[in-house]
Amino acid sequence: MAVIDTPVLTELAARTEGATKVYGSGDTQVTALDQVDVTFTKGQFTAIMGPSGSGKSTLMHSLAGLDRLTSGRVVIGDTDLSTMNEKELTLLRRTKIGFVFQAFNLVPTLTTIENITLPLDLGRLGVDEAWLDEVIRAVGLADRLEHKPNELSGGQQQRVAVARALASRPEVVFADEPTGNLDSTTGAEILSFMRRAVNEYDQTIVMVTHDPVAAAYADRVLFLADGRILDELHDPDTDTILSTLRRATQR
């Protein structure tokens, strides 16, 4: 009997098609993204790297619905962001997207647990208690739930931010330099948890970073320059990231 190979269908968490973002006009016009086509597979950890002004933050903000493209489109799951108004985008960010900022962005008057569930509360969404307990256990915050941000270390505050991003089980989590304000030990702990979220919970994470050590936690690394993707690495290590980054920035 002949054996027929069945193709494996890869589910996409996000993608861009012809993503272009232009700021200004005339002599001051800057093209931050230049016809970028890229896909992000469900359950994959992707790092985005590039020099200052390469377009990496613009790409992330556009993917997360925080910035609108000049042309092209962004699709999260099966939702085309270009067709949505601001109210719809706000709801989408609360339900399908998680975001981890470098500066934590916690509400100082709220406790740890209140900060974690804030997107769910704002969206008047039901809380999956079993999942919430799992996230809290995974980030090691069970004994800090009633503490406010000023009673937490920087690493603990970033753990709260990561837990908040995961609390709604979003289709994709975007992390903008999530370890930039942390020491190397604490940063490694946060990156290890993000790696676990991908491995154990099938989470999709897209992270902007300038740090080759941080990028080495990812499944793949995209290298941007002048608003275009110049190179891509899979199963990267720090040395290959550094050498590829040098080549990308010298082109």
Q: Are 238 and 216 in contact (CB under 8 A)?
A: yes
pTM comes to 0.88
Number of residues that make up the chain: 251
- Provide the pLDDT for residue 6: 43
> pLDDT-based confidence at 74, cuts 50/70/90?
very high
Dihedral sign for Cα atoms in the order 149, 128, 101, 83: negative
Dihedral sign for Cα atoms in the order 188, 190, 193, 198: negative
Q: Would the pLDDT of 177 be above 60? A: yes
Question: What is the SS3 assignment for 172?
Answer: strand
Dihedral angle over CA of 208, 210, 216, 219, nearest 10? 20
DSSP-derived secondary structure letter, 122: H
Give 118-171 pLDDT, tens digit per residue: 988 887 777 788 888 888 888 888 999 999 999 999 889 988 998 999 888 888
Give 84-127 pLDDT, tens digit per residue: 999 899 888 888 899 998 888 899 999 999 999 998 888 777 77
Q: Are 212 and 187 in contact (CB under 8 A)?
A: no
Mean pLDDT of 63-92: 92
Angle between helices 184-201 and 129-139 (to 10 degrees): 150
